[in-house]
Chains A and B, each alone.
Chain A
């Protein structure tokens, strides 16, 4: 963080040591202001350099984690689908397919703080307060059985926590272990007695198909779907939009953006495209693999009226048991209304 400031005494110290004459300068650029450096220089080093003042514990962290992180990383930091697992994996590093988590693999706690502070939450980076980051890091430590739930993680106590795999790394030693062996004049003839195929990629069959993008077919499918749903009350579903509320909803929607897209270029991601969702039939987005629960609801004729959407958004898992949506929910009615208003601005 403030390496520049800390370095000022060093200038005096090293003035005599600085060897080469200054290189030619071009006089380009301008001096960075301290506020600018403070805004961008957020990295945290293993020795604690750059840690901001603050604190948090696992109990507070659990709530924040559920709200901000669990959608991808799971309520218990166990990871959902292909998203990173943050807990578990102790003593697996020398096994087949080791599970590399913050607890089992990461050497420095500073790395977790640094990464969460600068790069998380996914799709809404840099929005967590320092205390929230301390609390989330504490919760991840707790999930890995590395601290008790009453341990308060802070800039003061940070150095007290040593991660189990702190000593698990060596510097690149390829020069000694590999380069010496794999060099020199290689064999050109009679290098092997016999050659047999021992494994074939075709057997595994995990290579993507090379079909060209079937744009025409997709369009046709959409047309067919439009015909099927032509009875939907299209005109009634286009009410006046409260622009101010929609604008507030755009902010709330940041929480949804990690999984959902809207607009002309929107594609299905972890969640379906949400164009036309308000007032639209549920389970109706082409190419999205819905949960069994949602498919059943769709077959039952569920339409996403603002009321139904609000109920779903409040507590997704309670509203629809078995939903794939791993989102903790929007507790505030105001947020629900705002995000629904925002979604109304994206018609099919």
Chain B
């Protein structure tokens, strides 16, 4: 492909603003009129004349260079070191519901490690009939399942507890991804080791632990472990990425991301929770009186408008506008999403792209006609338990201001008449 630009060809930005100007003047007619013929149409373009890349050019492809701003970003001041830190999915620039692995957020406690399939071992021990060791190849011989689930860090939106802080849906809501996982139910592996030894399973737990230096360990009640937890080795059809736990991670549907232990190496059946660092000093929620909630595993229903938003302003002027966003619930399926343009005074029900699925992301659209006036955009999710996503004021009333995790409040974007958007809090 030729790199040379056609002289006089408008840049993408100029084209967008030009189109905005044209449409603004011609709304009444229903169609915009061009002042002069578009050279992109009247002149033969290099891509229409010359040859493109061969099939051997890109054995495994990245997005085209024009999309190279659709990337994970981190917030440097959040953590001491990028190796024990988090980055954010560019949800403002994505559509549909499946998050591509290459831009799905990462959270490490001791960095993303290199672990070969050949070197991978999974141990099951504790209160089981026969403690077992599985190789990666062993895992591939158990019957496996496919499920789409969201994985949300409990700290998603955590920086917004005290007030509007970060200007972009990526930063306020990007500690989340949604993938199709392939794996073996944890139940199958536990039954392979045998649970007779554990006796009454009601009060039993599994302690799950990663192979990386952080040795991230979490306790999961047996009821959940036997219900829908997956030992997964593929995401979106291909191997997990290194940063998401290659070759094997745990998938704990609907529950906070910290429990989705990556590089999982050990599953121990126990008669009590271990009360590890990540389930006591972290991932607990201090209430106003100083008492903290623990074992707050489920991620409550939540939604956010992804476009327009601060990083995805309206560039086309008034007229037809697609307002879109994501909704999810860790306690069931999304049933309905309402959108408000006036900061919560009036609401209209958005269109779900597909009926909501349990513990998976749902895409919503509000196809609207923008009058070019300022908007205070909000979305409000409802799940099939009847739960309605609360406002930040409602959350603060119950929990106070010192929480970090589980902020599932309604988000407000102030969209100005210029189309620019800003993260705000409203009364």
Contacts and interface: CB of A to CB of B under 8 A. Distances in A.
A171 B297 CA distance: 11
A17 B201 CA distance: 11
A81 B77 CA distance: 10
Contacts of A82: 77-81
Given A196-B427, A206-B165, A36 B346 contact: no
Given A14-B196, A123-B213, A191-B346, A3 B268 contact: yes
Contacts of B300: 174, 178
B250 to A, nearest CB: 16
Given A31-B132, A192-B345, A173 B167 contact: no
Contact of B132 (A15, A30, A46): A30
Contacts of A24: 191
Contacts of B380: 186
Interface stretch (A96-104, A230-238, A316-324): A96-104
B171 A207 contact: yes
A314 to B, nearest CB: 25
Interface string B281-311: 1001010111111111110100000000011
Nearest to B168: A207
Given A115-B276, A170-B292, A201-B166, A187 B347 contact: yes
Nearest to B212: A125
Nearest to A124: B213
Interface string B162-180: 0111111001000000000
Contacts of A43: 207, 209, 217, 268, 274, 276
A177 B35 CA distance: 62
B376 interface: yes
B199 A18 contact: yes
B422 A168 contact: no
Contacts, number: 300
Contacts of A201: 164-167, 310, 422-424
Interface string B378-419: 001010011111100010001001100000000000100000
A122 B84 contact: yes
Interface stretch (B1-9, B18-26, B122-130, B352-360): B122-130
Interface stretch (A4-12, A55-63, A130-138): A4-12
Contacts of B213: 119, 122-123, 125-126
B167 A202 contact: yes
A206 B168 CA distance: 11
A223 interface: no
A94 B291 CA distance: 8
A265 interface: no
A25 B130 CA distance: 12
B106 interface: no
> A10, A32, A41, A168 — which one has the most chain B CB atoms within 10 A of its CB?
A32
A93 interface: yes
Contacts of A264: none
Interface in A276-333: none
A239 interface: no
B73 interface: yes
Interface in B322-371: 338, 342-348
Contact of B426 (A177, A195, A207): A195
A108 interface: yes
B344 A47 contact: no
A270 B80 contact: yes
A110 B133 contact: no
Interface in A83-127: 83, 93-94, 96-98, 100, 102, 105-108, 110-111, 114-115, 118-119, 122-123, 125-126
Contacts of B414: 197, 200
B281 A171 contact: no
Given A105-B281, A110-B275, A182 B163 contact: no
Given A119-B214, A195-B342, A30 B133 contact: yes
A174 B390 CA distance: 13
A29 B126 contact: no
A25 B191 contact: yes
Contacts of B75: 206-208
Contacts of A125: 110, 213-215
Contacts of B276: 43, 111, 114-115
Nearest to A8: B197
Contacts of A189: 346-347
Contacts of B266: 40-41
Given A118-B215, A125-B214, A183-B386, A202 B83 contact: no
Interface string B108-149: 011000000000000111111111111100100110000000
Given A4-B125, A110-B275, A118-B215, A170 B427 contact: no
B236 interface: no
Given A28-B134, A32-B125, A199-B425, A10 B199 contact: yes
| Chain A interface, >50% SS class | loop
A171 B294 CA distance: 5
Given A14-B197, A107-B275, A270-B81, A198 B192 contact: no
B225 to A, nearest CB: 14
A185 to B, nearest CB: 9
Interface string A162-184: 00000011111110011101111
A170 B288 CA distance: 13
B338 A26 contact: no
A9 B103 CA distance: 50
Nearest to B273: A45
B426 A197 contact: yes
B200 interface: yes
B404 to A, nearest CB: 10
A242 to B, nearest CB: 29
B64 to A, nearest CB: 14
Contacts of A114: 217, 274, 276-277
A269 interface: yes
A22 B382 CA distance: 40
Contacts of A196: 426-427
B191 A269 contact: no
B294 to A, nearest CB: 5
A216 interface: no
A241 B396 CA distance: 62
A53 interface: no
A32 B275 contact: no
Contacts of A23: 191
B311 A32 contact: no
A227 interface: no
A45 B205 CA distance: 13
Q: Which of B68, B135, B427 is packed against the most chain A CB atoms within 10 Å?
A: B427
Pairs A-B, 3 closest by C-beta atoms:
A94-B290, A93-B290, A195-B343
7 contacts: A23-B191, A28-B134, A31-B132, A32-B123, A98-B286, A114-B217, A178-B300
